[in-house]
Amino acid sequence: MPTALITGASRGLGAAIAAALAPTHTLLLAGRPSADLDAVAERFGAPTWPLELTDADSIEASAEVLAELDVLVHCAGVAYPGRVAESTPEEWRATLEVNVVGAVALTLALLPALRAARGQVVFINSGSGRNPSPGLASYSASKFALRAFAESLRADEPTLRVSTVYPGRIDTDMQRDLTAYEGRDYDPARFLKPETVAQIVADVVTTPPDGDVHEVVVRPRPR
């Protein structure tokens, strides 16, 4: 089976993507070492791939063991809720370091393996990567930058398939933090299920080889 490496695989959407791809792909589950990541790995009989997106040297060293890689799914990310005036330079640096620089570093390190397989890179972006969201200044900026990197990668690496998925708000721990910041009660029914977005990612990944899905936008249906 083809091999798929998924970042942020320890929980939430990343774990759901692992479940959606498990029937068709050999999985590599990337993330910071944790009991959650180990549990997902045990569930699917898949190896873990220790990953710290803020450590470029360790990323490069880890990538050397992969000669070919069919699919890279960028799902890891951080968000610090706050409007522009409430944000700090430290939060901006931390957000951009993980959401953009880390994704770039990992893609560059794995580029030889992806080229060898004529593979695919899938970026999990956000509605905030198309329209900035109030209270998510640094996060929105990072997602706009990630969108630009994906489009640059597609232009510069024509043998690869490069796809970006722009989900609306998803029922995850990150969403709970944002809802708490907004001072609202949390209602999971208002948001997309992780499994719904994961199935869309799986559909993108399993697109027949003569097709190339550039972008997918999905939003929760109004209740």
Q: Could you give the domains of the chain?
A: 3-208 (3.40.50.720)
Q: What integer is the mean pLDDT of 60-76?
A: 91
Q: pLDDT-derived band of residue 90, with 50, 70 and 90 as boundaries?
A: very high
HSE (CB half, 13 Å, CA atoms) of 67? 0
Q: What integer is the mean pLDDT of 166-191?
A: 80
pLDDT at 134: 85
Judge whether residue 185 has pLDDT over 90: no
Q: What integer is the mean pLDDT of 214-222?
A: 93
Strand order in the sheet with 120-124: 48-50, 26-31, 3-7, 71-74, 120-124, 161-167, 215-218
Q: pLDDT-derived band of residue 181, with 50, 70 and 90 as boundaries?
A: confident
Q: pLDDT-derived band of residue 188, with 50, 70 and 90 as boundaries?
A: confident
pLDDT at 42: 95
Q: For residue 80, indicate whether it is catalytic.
A: no
pLDDT at 58: 84
- Within 10 A of 69 (CB to CB), how many other CB atoms are there? 23
**Distance (Å, whole) CA 80 – CA 177:** 9
Judge whether residue 191 has pLDDT over 80: yes
**Distance (Å, whole) CA 128 – CA 200:** 18
Q: Give me the catalytic one of 139, 166, 181, 186.
A: 139
Judge whether residue 74 has pLDDT over 90: yes
Give the rounded distance of the alpha carbon of 131 from its chain centre. 18
